[in-house]
Structure 1
C-alpha cells in the first residue's frame, strides 16, 4: 500500500511540473506574426532624403564613336553638342538632369547621390533624321550618408532609356526648342526621383546569442516518503 501511495505521489508531482513548463513553441507567435527584427530578415523602409550633393563620373574607359551610322558599336554616342570631349559633355547632361530631379528633395536624411555612367548611347545624325530610335542611358546609382559616407542604397544599375524622335518630327521638336538634351535631361530627372523613392531593404540587427556558459534550468521535485 505504501509503495502505491509513493508511486501516485511521484506521478502527481511530475504532472504538476509538466504543467508549469510550457512546450517550446507554446508562447511563441506564429511565423506570420513574427516581426522583421525577430526573424532577422532584411527590413524594408520608405526612404526620405535631403540630397546635399550629386556626383557624376564618366569613366574614360567608356568608348566613344563619332561614326555617322545607324547604330555605332560604342559606349558613348552623342551628337547634341559640337564635337569635343564627349565624356565631359555627358557628365554635364547628367548633372543637369539629376540636379533637376532632386531639387525638391530636402526633407529627411542628408545624403549624397553618386552616379557612375556605364552607357550613354544617343542618336547619330543618320538615325535622328530618318527613323529615330532610343536614347540609351545606363548608370550605377549609389546613395551615401553625407556625414559618414556609409552606403544607404546601392550600388545598383539603373536604366533610363527614352524614345528619340526621328525624321520630320525630330526637326519639328528641335525648332520648338525640344532638343535631344532637353528630352534626356527631363527623363533623367523623372527617373532619379522615382529611384530615390523606391523602398530600401536594410539588414535589421539580430537578437543577441544566448551564452553557451549559461547554466541550464533545473527543477527539483521533493521525494514523498
Structure 2
C-alpha cells in the first residue's frame, strides 16, 4: 500500500513540476539554544566533535527499489547500522579538520536525522539519490557557549548506478568512500564558506525523497 501511495505521489509531483510549481524544504525540529546565523566569513578551527545517531532512527534492510526508513545503508557488512553511520560521520569530520584552519577553536556537534543511501537493487539498476540530513551546532571551546543557531543541513548526493556503480566498485571507489569524501566536503563548506553548504539540486528523485 505504501509503495502505491509513493508511486501516486511521484506522479502528482511530476505533474506539479510540469506546471512550474515549487516545493519548499521539509522543516525539522532544532536542538536547543537556537539563534540566527549570519552570513559572515567563518573563522573556525575544529578542536573536537561529537556525532549522535539516535536509536529512534528506523533501519530498513529490505532489498527493494526504495526501502522505507531513516537509515538505508549497504556499504558495510550487515550489522549495527547506527554505529556504521556514526563511524562514517566521524571519519568525515576528521578528514575535514585539516581544511578548517581558522583561529576560533570549536566543538562540532552533529546529530544525524536521515541517512538513506541506496539498496543493492536500486544501485545496480535505476540509481537514485543518497538522501542525507543532520543537525549541526558549534560550541566555543573557551566559553562553552553555543555559537549561533543549530543548523539543519541537507547533504544529498547523486548516486552512481548500474554499470557506473559496477565500474566504481572494480576500481576500488566504494559507495562508502564516496560518501565519506562528500560528507567531509560538506563539513568543510559549513565551517569555511559564508552561509555554509548549499545542497545540490538533483531533480525529481530528490524531491520524491522528501515526500
Question: 2:71 maps to what in 1?
Answer: 76
Question: What TM-score comes out, normalization by structure 2 length?
Answer: 0.71
Question: What TM-score comes out, normalization by structure 1 length?
Answer: 0.67
Question: 2:9 maps to what in 1?
Answer: none
* Aligned partner of residue 56 in structure 2, secondary structure: coil
CA deviation string 1:78-111 (max 9, x = no partner): 0001100000000001111122122232331110
Deviation >6 Å, runs of 4+: none
Closer, same or farther: CA 172–44 of 1 in aligned 2, 3 Å: closer
Q: Who wins on radius of gyration, i.e. which is larger?
A: 1
What 5-or-longer segments of structure 2 have no aligned partner? 1-36, 196-211
Measured in 2, the distance between the counterparts of 1:146 and 1:79 equals: 36
Measured in 1, the distance between the counterparts of 2:39 and 2:82 equals: 36
Measured in 2, the distance between the counterparts of 1:106 and 1:194 equals: 12
Which of these residues, 126, 132, 138, is aligned with residue 137 of structure 1? 132
Instruction: Give yes or no for contact 2:130–2:159 (8 Å, CA) kept in 1.
Output: yes
What is the Cα deviation at residue 133 of structure 1?
Answer: 1.1
Closer, same or farther: CA 175–43 of 1 in aligned 2, 3 Å: closer
Closer, same or farther: CA 198–154 of 1 in aligned 2, 3 Å: farther
CA deviation string 1:107-151 (max 9, x = no partner): 311101111000000000100111111111100010110122211
Query: How many residues are aligned here?
Result: 159
User: Alignment RMSD, CA only?
Assistant: 1.6
Measured in 1, the distance between the counterparts of 2:47 and 2:173 equals: 29
* Aligned partner of residue 99 in structure 2, secondary structure: coil
